[in-house]
Amino acid sequence: MRTSYRIEPCRTALNRVRGMMFDWSINPYMGCAHRCTFCYVRAFEHRADRPSDDRYGSSVRVKINIAGVLARELERPGWNREHVVIGAATDPYQPAEGRFQLTRAVIRTLAAHRTPFSIITRGPLVVRDLDVLQEAARRVEVSVSFSVPTLDRDVWRTTEPATAPPVQRLRALRVLRQGGIRAGVAMAPILPGISDAPESMAAVVRAARAAGAVSIWTELLHLRPGTREHFLAHLARDWPDELDRYRTLYSDRAYLPGADRDAIMARLAELKRAHPARMIAAPLIDPEAEPEQLDLAI
């Protein structure tokens, strides 16, 4: 499927987030060429009466003016330099970034206004921006999470039809760590019966630690309307033996039942204890001191 790009200036850059572990996000693009079958953003598109089926990802909206809009928002007196997540609703390093470089501009803008941020991506292209990430890390807290839910080639290619291989993401993680950037792995989403087997999760944890991941976290599959219909249709085609199980697990809910979720989270916690983070060679990046206002004697 070919992806078309539509230039669409934005009126706002920062998004207030509800019900997440963070309060602010920014997305330089809307729509994602990765077209992952499990993407929770399909639910938001469905709610906004936009295509959430196989058409999702065929058109990407490019917020061409986002850096300038962001700068004005960060200059407001009420902005308290709260943490911002880049890429909560679409990958900031999808292929469009190679051409438009909006994520790079957003990083520079956040750093210039001393606003801490983190990035979530499946795109190895982030290594292109090591220089601006290092510059930002001298001023504020910076981190990057690479989404690596599995190393299984069949699972990856079936559920992520247009992303870079997981091993390339781990190579990118190592490059960032060697460049002094805090980077980790998001095993998200874990798919029950498909990518939650102990040996599958252990392989990701071992590879993440070997690449220098300082953090590993996970999230499980969410099936809200929009995502649900699309994912189950692909499940029926790719893993038909799992279809009845998923219909039972998610029969009247968008989230995995608590007991099933707790079992997976406990498994990850055990793996992290067995494979703790280790230090790898990386240059020290010292935060710059805040500028001081000098009192002038008269």
- The contacts of residue 25 (CB under 8 Å, 6+ apart) are 14, 15, 17, 84, 85, 86, 87, 88, 89
Contact 167, 145 (CB under 8 A): no
Joined together, the tokens standing for residue 237 give 């085609």
Residues in the chain, pLDDT under 50: 281-285, 289, 291-298
pLDDT score, position 54 = 78
Joined together, the tokens standing for residue 188 give 């998200």
Which string of DSSP letters, residue by residue, matches 21-65? Answer: S-SEEE-SEES-TT--TT-THHHHHHHTTS--STTTTSEEEE-TT
DSSP bridge partners of 24? 16, 84
pLDDT tens readout for residues 107-147? 999 999 999 999 999 999 999 999 999 999 999 999 999 99
Please state the pTM of the whole predicted model.
0.90
pLDDT score, position 280 = 54
**Domain annotation for the chain: domains and CATH numbers:** 4-274 (3.20.20.70)
